[in-house]
């Protein structure tokens, strides 16, 4: 089985590694960013402690769920952190530009160019 799995993994790793690293950095930045709620920021470190801790809430002798419960809890913590963090903070850390609320960006045909000049009250 591993004879076939290892070459497949080596073939797919270069394709997915940049995205994996991007999201690892996003989770790290959101975890240390003070603009994110403290409860959300504590989810991933607590899930990592549960992942490393030798005692489980769900015993390993339960088929399928007992063996992957650590990964499920870690994945859910990461998902909650990314989805419940403020969107502008997530966009900032991902390098996305915030959408502008300027009228000329929404409908340029409705904008009139003009000049202004101030007169003194003399």
In tens, the pLDDT along 26-52 reads 999 999 999 999 999 999 999 999 888
Integer Cα distance of 42 and 34 in angstroms:
12
Q: Average pLDDT, stretch 3-31? A: 88
Integer Cα distance of 86 and 98 in angstroms:
13
Would you put residue 10 in left (φ > 0), alpha (ψ -120 to 50) or beta? Answer: alpha
Integer Cα distance of 32 and 41 in angstroms:
7
Output 101 or 15, whichever has higher pLDDT: 15
Helices (H), 33-100: 38-52, 65-84, 87-94
pLDDT confidence of residue 122? 56
- Mean pLDDT comparison of 55-59, 90-94, 113-117, highest-scoring range: 90-94
């Amino acid at each position: 089985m591993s004879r076939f799995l290892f070459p497949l993994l080596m073939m797919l790793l270069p394709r997915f590694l940049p995205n994996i690293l991007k999201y690892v950095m996003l989770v790290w930045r959101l975890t240390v960013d003070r603009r994110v709620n403290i409860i959300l920021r504590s989810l991933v470190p607590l899930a990592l402690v549960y992942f490393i801790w030798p005692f489980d809430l769900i015993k390993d002798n339960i088929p399928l769920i007992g063996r992957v419960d650590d990964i499920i809890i870690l994945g859910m913590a990461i998902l909650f952190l990314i989805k419940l963090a403020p969107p502008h903070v997530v966009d900032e850390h991902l390098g996305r530009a915030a959408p502008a609320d300027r009228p000329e960006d929404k409908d340029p045909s409705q904008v009139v160019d003009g000049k202004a000049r101030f007169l003194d009250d003399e």
